[in-house]
Structures are given as C-alpha cells and as structure tokens.
Amino acid sequence: MKHTLIILLFMTVMFPVQAQETKEIKGRVVEQSADGQKVGLPGASVQWLGTTEGTGTDEKGNFSIRWNAVGSLVVSFVGYRTDTVNVESYGRASLPESSQVGKTEKTENIEIVLMSGEMLDEVSVASRRLSTVLTTRKPIIEQVINSEELSKAACCNLGESFSTNASVDVSYADAVTGAKQVQLLGLTGKYVQMMTEGLPNFRGISSLYGLNYVPGTWMSSISISKGTASVIQGHEAIAGQMSVDYKKPRVSEKIFLNVYLNSEQAMEFNAHAGIILNDAWSTAILLHHDRMENEYSMHDNGFLDMPRQVQYNIMNRWEYKTDVWHLQFGGKALSEEKTGGQKEFRRGMEKGTGPGNYYGIGLNTGRYEGFMKIGNLMPDFEEATSMALLVNYTDHDQQSFFGARKYDVRQRTMYANYIFQSTFASNEDQQYSVGVSYNQDSYDEQFRDYLSDIVDVTPTLDMKREEKEAGAFFQYTGIFWEQLTAMAGLRYDYHNLYKGILTPRLHISYAPDDETIFKVSAGSGARTANVLSDNSFLLASGHSVFVNGKRLSDNPAELGKLDMEKAWNLGALFNRKFYIADRTLTLNLDYYHTNFSHQVVADYETNPKEINFYNLDGPSYSNSYQAEVQYELLPRLDVLTAIRYNDVKQTVGGILERQPLQSKYKGLVNLSYTTSSEKQWQFDFTTQFNGGGRLPGDEGNFAPYQIMNAQVSKFFKYWSIYGGCENIGDFTQSNPIRGYDDPWGTNFDASKVWGPLQGRKFYIGIRFGLT
C-alpha cells in the first residue's frame, strides 16, 4: 500500500502544469434581514459553475478562491436561494502584463447577498454544492463536512455523521451499552480532541458517550483536522481534532421540525426556533428527544443488542453583534437513561448479583453546560487586530452499573481561553496570536468491583482527583510569495500533577499552481489517561481490574503511578485537481505517523481473565495511508472513492502486536445524484469495504466484510421527506458476547466487538423548515 501511494504521487506530479498568471477572488456571502442589516453566512458553499472546485465561507462569511476560466460562481446555503454570480470582470484579462508566472493577484472584495428561501416557489438546483470541502488556503489540514453531506444519511447524532466520510471510523465499544467510539488515524476517540465551536468539550468521562450527546439536526458543520492542530485550543489533540458548529440564531431556520422512525421502533423528535429580536440581539432554542424501548436482539444469546434508552436534550443560545463587539452565550442540559443486558432484566434487579440473577447494565447521565464567547475587533489598534475570551463550564454526572460492578462518577470542568490576534507592521500576511488559558477538572469517582473469580463484591472505592492546568501560547502565521503559508506555534502548560508540558506544532502549505497543494504538519500532544472512564466498556465482562499488576480494589493508589500520555505526530497531504470533460477531478493522498513516548496500556490479552493497566514499555505507533478521489461523473452525479490502510501496533506484555479488533483497511464508495427538476429528488448510496483484523490473544483473525447504506430524499418548498436502509446486506458480527450463558463467570465478555451489531434497518423521516 505504501509503495502504491508513492507511485501515485510520482505519476500525478509528472503531469505538465501550464505556467500561467492566476488571480484570487475574495468576497463575502451575506444575508439581508428585513431591517436592511447584512449578516455574514458561515459555511456557505462557493463553487465554480459546472465544477467541483470550490470552498466554504468562514465564521464571518468571508471566502477566498483561485480564479477559474468558467467565470461564474455558484453560491448556496441551506434555506437560501442559490445564486450564480458572473465574475468575469475579475478575470485574467485584468492582470497586468508584468505578472510573474504562478503569481496570484488579489482582487477587491465582492459581496454576494443570498435571499431567503421563502422567495422561492419551489426548490431549484443550479449546480451541486460541495458537501465536503478540503480547506486549501489554511496551512492546517482540515476537512469541513457541511449540512448537505450530513443530510445524505439520517445522522441522528454526531456518532452517525461519518458513514459517508473516508477519514473517520465509528464503531461500537461493546455489545451491551450501545456506546460508540470514533477512530481517526487508527486511534480511538480518546486521542481525538473533541470541540464545540472552538471550545474543548466531551473530555474525560464524556469521551466515550459524547458522540450521542450532539443531535444531527443541531449541527451546521463538522470540521476534521488530522494530526496535530493549532496550539490555541490546548495540547490534547494527538490523532486530530473535531469541532462541531451548532446552528446560529441569525442563520438558523425560524422554525424547524424533524421526526424520525425506524424498523427497530426507535423514534426521534427535533425542534428548533431562531428568533431575531433586533439589529443586535438574537436567540435560538433547540430541542431533542429520542426513545428506544423495543427489546431488539438479532443474536440467539438472550441479551439485547441495543439497550433501551430515553434521552432529553435542550439548548438555548444568545447572540449580540455590532460592528465592533460579538457576544455569544448559552446553556445546554441533557438527561439520558440506558438499560441493557439480558432481555428479562429490569431496573431494580441490579441488587441481586451472582448466579441465579439476571445480568443487566444501566447508565443514568445528567449533563449541564454553559458557555460564553466574547470578541472585540479593537478598531483603535492596528488593522486586523482583535481579542476574544472563551469560557466553558460543564457538570457531568454519570451513575452506572455493569452486572454487580458499580461505577459512579461526576466531573466538573471549568475552561477559559483569552486570545489576542494582530499583525506585524499592519501586514495581513504576517499575523500572530498570543494568549493564556486555564483548565480545571474535578473528578469524584466511586468504583465497586466484582471479583468473578471468587464470586464476591468488593467495598466501594471513593476516588477524588483535582487537575489544574494553566498555559500560555504564541502562534505565528505567515504568507510568502502568495504560494507558501506557514503556521508555527508553541505553548507551555503547567499541570498540578504532571508539571510542565511543552507543545510545539508546525504546519506548512505550499501551492505551486492553481491545481496542486502540498501540506505538511508536525507536533506533539499530551493527555491525561482516565483509566476507568476511558475504558468503561471493558467493565462489561467478568475480568477483574488491575493496575500495575495489583488488584485496583485493594490498591487504588496505583492509579497515581500512571503516566500522562504523550505522542508526536507527523503528517503530509498532496492534493491535485485534474480537468476532465469540463469537470474537476480531485485527488487527495495523505500519510500520518503517530509515535507514543508515554501511553497507558489496557492489557486484556496477557491474562484473558484480567484487565491490567500499566505504563507503556516498548514501541507504540500508528501509520495511516489514505487515497481519495472525488469527481462529478455525470451532471449532478458525484462520486467519491477512497481507500485507507492502518498499521497500528502497541507493545502489550512485552510483545509488539497489531491493534486487535481493528480492520487493516477501509474502502469507501459514495454515489450522490440530484435531479434537475424543480421538485428536487436526491439519491445517495454508500458502501464500505472493511478489511479483516486480529482477534485478541491466540483467537486468530476476523474476516473482511461489507456494509451498504442508501437513502432517498424529496425536497419541497418548506419541507422534505427522506427514507432509507442501513446495512442492506444484513451483516452482523457473530457471537459478540462471549460466555453469555454464564454472565457472572470469568469467561463472560461483551467488550470484544469488531463489527456491526445491528442488522438491516429501515427508516423514514420528515423535516419542516421555515427560514
């Protein structure tokens, strides 16, 4: 695979590139409210007519795109009328004769005003909007998934938003709790920094279940950065960073409703309302409820494949915006209850443990969040100078049991980040950011183990931990010769338990011409290992918990001897555009290497009846290779094909082994077709090819398998209806629960999951939106 990518890269760079003067179109996409105020539209699609070459607008609605001879830009945003703008006047003809080869000339900003969708009689399509955009002007390697890509599947929550994405895997953590964990570069989600609108979130005890806390209809976009990210948000990004943008009050629907039902009798309801109070103030309310009470089980083992669950989720956000100040604040509250295990188990039965009693699992979660972001453009200072203060508070309380095991935990987090940004000598091509941050985590954990080897319950351990960390950072971003962009950052944090943490990071982007981009990144990352919360899915087994070879129930002090996890990440990306039949074919090749110097190992292989946590003693690394091609094969028929190969190894019990329960490779094909009629239809089909992998211990390997999903959507003026089928081939992992006939014994294990647990699933939904 490695040699294949090298050959592909060599062949593509051998294609002759015509030396030519180029021009850069810069502008801003805005909406105009009834009172005449213009507000930037973040996440709008800006695309050259008849091609797949485009970009997205930033948080202020600004965009920058290299000139294309097509001369017409198609600008679109969900809920607004698509506009086609002729920008011939900004074409190459206006370039001075003295322009250098490969030089990019900047134009004056152009403004594009999108009108509300209420002015449309029916939906019309001028051109396909890019649904996944690779940022080309930023040095960071970032992919943005917008609302159109999210609508290609049901996307009930964040964990179900990546079925059409080649870079991200989402798999079940175990066979009883329904918890899903994300994987990036072959590494689990605990090594991915999860954020919401630039604020670190879903850390610690929420890292495993946080994907279920973000309803799909609340999201306007998802940004994915592979490898190291900016130093501004901290040092925790090791495999990468994901940031969710929620819908904003001014650009959200006035009223939005969504109802979803599936063949497993699960239901979901979402309701949003965006309210503009005056020129400066606006607010939005977002509601979510989902329920699954059916006893769903495809396996003949007496256990539910998915737990019964009920979730309530509400968010209220406020925005105040003037020419100088921008204030956002709000809160979010969540309540969730899950009950799983054997079919006959009901709440209240957990008091009966051991043989002769039904085995069950239960999770009760209460989560509260409050955030504030305030920014000032500082007009009295140099051009492009601004400051921002970001504050976030979360209170997460989880009470859970796994058979006779009890794990109750509460985490309270306070985060604050002050950022000052300006330019050197008023040169917008030479910018810097400097700031300070503070993070405090308070953990209160109560753990009661079940010693299945002697059928006994241990006393409850009461473990409290306080983590305080203060940091400072500096980041420089420079543009040279219009082709080379460099971002270099350095931060230093002092942790009350782990002392000083130095984090350097570097990103470089080079565009020798309009069709070619090279990007490289390098840097380090570090995170605190939360042994029980990171690996709570392993508690759904009959294995006793050990730390450094000592039983945790007798030696809780051993937790303090575990290291902070640290790693270096190196990455490279090559992007090339080819013009075939007047349409753009985009080729992406990337490679990432992650090398751990410190890591906490969860060893369930050396002794299959124990889970032993200890510090890494030997190599641990990940290599990820990916090739991806996007092309509009026929008018309005987009094709995405990709293949990724993961080489992930860790030293366990003194032996360097390939990571178990993980596919070696993943192939993806996504087809998306939209009709050109006024009453628009959209057809989406995705198939995933998952390679085989290693099973723990001496159990051999699991075989490759394929998953297919399809969805059909019909759009009207204010509403749409969608329906589809997931896992069309009805493939599921056989025997996902080992020792199910004796769940209180040492052989019971529901944590060895490598494939789908749910079979073929049909669903239907309806959306209503008034903009």
- Characterize the bridge pairing of strands 22-32 and 110-114: parallel
* Among 669, 711, 765, 740, CA closest to 260: 765
DSSP secondary structure, 152-194, as one string: TS---BGGGS-TT-SSEEEEES-SSS--EEEEETTEEGGGEEE
Helix (H, G, I), strand (E, B) or coil at 13: helix
State how far the Cα of 647 lies from the Cα of 90, in Å rounded to an integer: 47
**Per-residue buried b or exposed e for 189-210, using 16+ beta carbons within 10 Å of the residue's own CB:** bbbbbbbbbbbbbbbbbbbbbb
State how far the Cα of 371 lies from the Cα of 196, in Å rounded to an integer: 10
Tokens coding 169 = 């895997």
Provide the CB-side half-sphere exposure for 416 (13 A, CA).
8
Phi then psi for 463, rounded to 5 degrees? -120, 120
State how far the Cα of 173 lies from the Cα of 607, in Å rounded to an integer: 20
Place of tokens 């241990």: 458
Phi then psi for 190, rounded to 5 degrees? -65, -20
Note whether 45 and 79 are within 8 A (CB). Answer: no
Quote the pLDDT of residue 296: 80
- Which residue type, as a one-letter code, is found at position 762? F
Helix (H, G, I), strand (E, B) or coil at 514: coil
* Among 45, 246, 195, 227, CA closest to 132: 45
State how far the Cα of 380 lies from the Cα of 262, in Å rounded to an integer: 57
DSSP secondary structure, 629-650, as one string: EEEEEETTEEEEEEEEEEEEEE
- The sign one gets for the Cα dihedral 179, 687, 56, 96 is positive
Tokens coding 29 = 């996409």
* Among 40, 33, 30, 136, CA closest to 83: 30
As beta bridge partners, residue 645 has 625, 665
Tokens coding 239 = 């495999």
State how far the Cα of 330 lies from the Cα of 282, in Å rounded to an integer: 12
- Which residue type, as a one-letter code, is found at position 125? V
Report the 10 Å Cβ neighbour count for 1.
16
Note whether 527 and 512 are within 8 A (CB). Answer: no
Note whether 204 and 259 are within 8 A (CB). Answer: no
Helix (H, G, I), strand (E, B) or coil at 231: helix
Which positions ≥6 away from 614 have C-beta within 8 Å? 547, 548, 549, 562, 600, 601, 603
Note whether 670 and 131 are within 8 A (CB). Answer: no
State how far the Cα of 553 lies from the Cα of 559, in Å rounded to an integer: 11
Task: State pTM to two decimals.
Answer: 0.85
Tokens coding 161 = 């938003």
Tokens coding 228 = 């190291």
With vertex at residue 378, the alpha carbon angle to CA 373 and CA 380, rounded to the nearest 5 degrees, is 165
Note whether 659 and 186 are within 8 A (CB). Answer: yes
Place of tokens 């989402």: 170
- The sign one gets for the Cα dihedral 83, 88, 89, 94 is positive
Note whether 316 and 271 are within 8 A (CB). Answer: no
Place of tokens 């090819």: 689
State how far the Cα of 625 lies from the Cα of 591, in Å rounded to an integer: 5
Note whether 284 and 248 are within 8 A (CB). Answer: yes
On the 0-12 / 13-18 / 19+ scale of CB atoms within 10 A, 347 is exposed
Quote the pLDDT of residue 522: 97
SS (H, E, C) 659-688: CCCCCCEEEEEEEEEECCCCCCEEEEEEEE
Quote the pLDDT of residue 90: 42
State how far the Cα of 708 lies from the Cα of 706, in Å rounded to an integer: 7
State how far the Cα of 584 lies from the Cα of 173, in Å rounded to an integer: 39
Report the 10 Å Cβ neighbour count for 481.
10
Tokens coding 704 = 């490759």
- The sign one gets for the Cα dihedral 738, 741, 743, 747 is negative
- Which residue type, as a one-letter code, is found at position 598? H
Helix (H, G, I), strand (E, B) or coil at 93: helix
DSSP state of 211: G
Place of tokens 């008018």: 635
Report the 10 Å Cβ neighbour count for 678.
13
Rg from Cα positions in the chain:
26
Q: How far is CA 278 from CA 35, 320, 321, 474, in A?
A: 9, 10, 10, 38
Tokens coding 343 = 């079919």
DSSP state of 552: T
State how far the Cα of 248 lies from the Cα of 279, in Å rounded to an integer: 15
State how far the Cα of 208 lies from the Cα of 182, in Å rounded to an integer: 9
As beta bridge partners, residue 430 has 478
Question: Where are the extended beta strands (E) located within 582-661?
Answer: 583-598, 600-603, 610-615, 620-634, 637-652, 655-658
Note whether 47 and 83 are within 8 A (CB). Answer: no
Listed as ranges, residues in the chain with pLDDT below 70 are: 1-23, 32-37, 49-53, 59, 69-71, 78-82, 86, 88-109, 115-137, 677-679
